[in-house]
Amino acid sequence: MSDLVGVDLGGTKILARFVNPETGWSEKRVKRPTPSTGPSDVLEAVAEVIEELDPDRTSPAIGIGVPGLVTADGIVTRCPNINGWDSPVDVAATLSKRLDRPVAVGNDVNVGTLAEHRVGAGQGTTAMAGVFVGTGVGGGLIINNRLVAGARGMAGEIGHVTTHTGGRVCGCGERGHLEAYAGRAGLEREARRLHAAGTENELVRLAQNGRIKSSHIAKALASGDSVTEDLIADAVEALAIGIGSMATLLDLPLVVMGGGVVDRLGKDFLQQISESTAFGGFGSSVCELKLAERIDDAGVVGAAILAADQFL
């Protein structure tokens, strides 16, 4: 199979590389900042990055990962992480016309999940989910060896399932979502709220006025700070409810977990989730939790695999 161009379109930068979709091996890189002047400038910049990387047009198809909701046919329905992008755009059609080649488009977390499935921790299973716990909580879904996008690109968005009815306010504005309990930003909001209400805690003491980072969470846990322990217990509970319910509903034998918070807290954190009495559905015996392999440039690799799946 020939090497394909994979592109990671991020909120701040665009990265393109050549990728072997069977091994995940990648080479060469072209990078530039993401324009903040709206989708047509962004797509033109993406096209220019691809032309710079592949001037001879050796790649038979292109794959692109985008930080927004993306339908299976490559329409980006929501993209709040890129400035000036406030309405749906048919990225696949626009770019395939511009580049005169087929273009596959997927959500960045979804294509990261696809990379884990083919060349990472999920190899060998036909169905799995990726759950990435960072600033927020993102997820991707593989069923019958294929990435599932859903009708509006929402499939796999485990961060916004409700685990606590009427609970903490989520980054999306709704209440009680998993992300409000397990995402780094949600933990930070709660730690600062407690601090403002007079409950001192290590997280705010370590971060001062800066961002509470995953490393602060690990440090505060190691020092035995009880507020942090309670917050992480809530995060574990939310993840156990959400992951267990999803694994039972969709019959997933494997969930691969990554992201900044998981990278810091490691296997112990996964074990706490597995052993939680809150684990949803038929319980943790139906679903193994594994750490992601943290593939280099997973977004780029997964985007190229998506293009290979769709067009080769």
x/- letters, 120..159, toward Zn ion (CB under 5 A):
----------------------------------------
Q: What are the residues whose beta carbons fall under 8 Å from the beta carbon of 202, sequence distance 6 or more?
A: 216, 219, 220, 223, 225, 227, 228
Residues 206-265 touching Zn ion, rule: CB under 5 A, are none
Task: Using CB under 5 A, pick the residue from 172, 194, 233, 291 that binds Zn ion.
Answer: 172
- Residue 286, helix vs strand vs coil: helix
Task: Using CB under 5 A, pick the residue from 177, 184, 216, 264 that binds Zn ion.
Answer: 177
CB closer to Zn ion out of 92 and 170: 170
CB of 179 to Zn ion, least distance (A): 5
CB of 146 to Zn ion, least distance (A): 26
Task: Using CB under 5 A, pick the residue from 7, 95, 149, 170 that binds Zn ion.
Answer: 170
Task: State the Cα–Cα distance between residues 118 and 233, nearest whole angstrom.
Answer: 32
Q: How many other C-beta atoms lie within 10 A of the C-beta of residue 264? A: 18
Task: State the Cα–Cα distance between residues 2 and 6, nearest whole angstrom.
Answer: 13
CB closer to Zn ion out of 175 and 213: 175
- Choose among 32, 28, 31, 9: nearest CA to 19: 28
Residues 59-98 touching Zn ion, rule: CB under 5 A, are none
CB of 78 to Zn ion, least distance (A): 13
Q: What are the residues whose beta carbons fall under 8 Å from the beta carbon of 265, sequence distance 6 or more?
A: 214, 217, 218, 221, 232
CA 240 to chain centre: 18
What the block records as the tokens of 36 is: 């903040």
CB of 160 to Zn ion, least distance (A): 4
List contacts with Zn ion (CB under 5 A): 160, 170, 172, 174, 177
